[in-house]
Chain A
């Protein structure tokens, strides 16, 4: 479980996060949603430790990231898997090389054991047969799946996903969402997904945190969101005619 307590972050004279507190549960898909510029990326980067808030606490199962030195932060990052918006695969490595990378860097396994583990992760994301291809030779959706395989190679306790569906068609987006949800439940990971995708919000959101103008504005799950009495989240989630119709049908 990751707990964020009263964090505030400013850039020069502009405050991006105002006293935000939130809890991200283990074994659940935790979603951070909000409009562009609302501060959700700053919140995620703060939790990972790429940005340091001025005040507050970020607790990884009780361990405060804000009080850790660089060595301790480096250690805790070995428990983190991250899926980037653009996949961030290493161009010079094959699919197998990318998935094996964290194993090579942080384990003392033999090459055979590393290949075995990497092949298991590749098969888990349904990419068996693509292990010798380079990132430039596979589609965007496949790249996302390779990035997920790399993220889970070290059995992480925490999985962060920054806009995992950006640039993907709806069908592939659903596949990625289902994969993330399955992996979260299967390995009991604390998964935090930063997303704009309303299909994800309504489909896999077990703990949704809505950030509005740097404030935590609403918390709930994908069922509660249909009955939210918050104008900002209703305007954001049900902005399109299609989703308004979905809500009307759901509430009937």
Chain B
């Protein structure tokens, strides 16, 4: 039973994706909507990303300082470890898990409400490919803007670590900054950005799918939002394992 419903949903998702990735009816409308979605899904997420990143960067630095007390470990280890944690996992995987909650529920509830109030039926009857019209701009906008959020996240996380060095006596700022620069591997930045493309696609497409195929009323919109966030989060974690294996080995 569970296998049947999973296979059925997977098939429906594939058909949904094939409808999304067709040529837009009007390119001018598509570009306009994409810019609107960049503002709504991307730019509006920047304050959340900054706040979370500063605090997480600071917490990482404090945790590293408290757990690397061995005299055999150089002081710059704190900066180095904080940087690698941020580059490898926090700025992409953890950030996307957080954004799955904010952006995913936003997309699922918006499209779900449009389904419940017959706005999607209205588009279909007008002859508009509703999946393409509604979802493609969201996917394109979020995938394009995600690297910007990752870069913001990296910068503000490391700034949060610097704040710990500046405002506490746990570690000196010079040693922390030396640690940030030590043994730097540029590939880690690209690794994070490559992963974020996949995660952004998962969040936008899965959330849209759950919203688009709602059956019922307002109660179902809430359920769809929850399902969208849960499924996106699980798939992000699954793809995190796969991409880490592929990209770091």
Contact = CB atoms under 8 A, between A and B. Distances in A.
Interface of A: 48, 50, 74-75, 77-78, 80, 82, 84-86, 88-91, 101-102, 104-106, 160
A74 B127 contact: yes
A77 B125 contact: yes
B159 to A, nearest CB: 36
Interface of A: prevailing SS: mixed
A88 B122 contact: yes
7 contacts: A74-B127, A78-B126, A84-B118, A86-B117, A88-B118, A90-B122, A91-B119
A84 B127 contact: no
A96 to B, nearest CB: 16
Interface string B120-149: 011011111000000000000000000000
B119 A90 contact: yes
Contacts of B29: 104-105
A215 to B, nearest CB: 26
Given A88-B117, A105-B26, A77 B122 contact: no
A106 B122 contact: no
A120 to B, nearest CB: 19
Interface string B173-217: 000000000000000000000000000000000000000000000
Nearest to B28: A104
Interface of B: 25-26, 29, 113, 117-119, 121-122, 124-128
B125 A48 contact: yes
B127 A50 contact: no
B103 to A, nearest CB: 17
Contact of A88 (B26, B121, B127, B128): B121
Which 5 A-B residue pairings sit nearest by Cβ, starting from the closest?
Answer: A77-B127, A88-B118, A88-B122, A82-B125, A84-B118
A89 B117 CA distance: 8
Contacts of A89: 119
Contact of B122 (A74, A82, A104): A82
Contact of A50 (B25, B121, B126, B128): B121
Contact of A86 (B26, B118, B126): B118
A85 B127 contact: no
A80 B25 CA distance: 17
Contact of A75 (B124, B125, B127): B127
Contacts of A50: 121, 124-125
Contacts of A85: 118
Contacts of A101: 126
A74 B113 CA distance: 24
A19 B113 CA distance: 35
Contacts of B117: 86, 88, 91
B126 A102 contact: yes
B160 to A, nearest CB: 36
Given A104-B29, A105-B29, A78 B127 contact: yes
Contacts of B122: 82, 84, 88, 90
Given A88-B117, A89-B119, A90-B119, 17 more contacts: A50-B125, A74-B127, A75-B127, A77-B125, A77-B127, A80-B125, A80-B126, A86-B117, A86-B118, A88-B118, A88-B121, A88-B122, A104-B29, A105-B29, A105-B126, A105-B127, A105-B128
B125 A106 contact: no
A90 B26 CA distance: 18
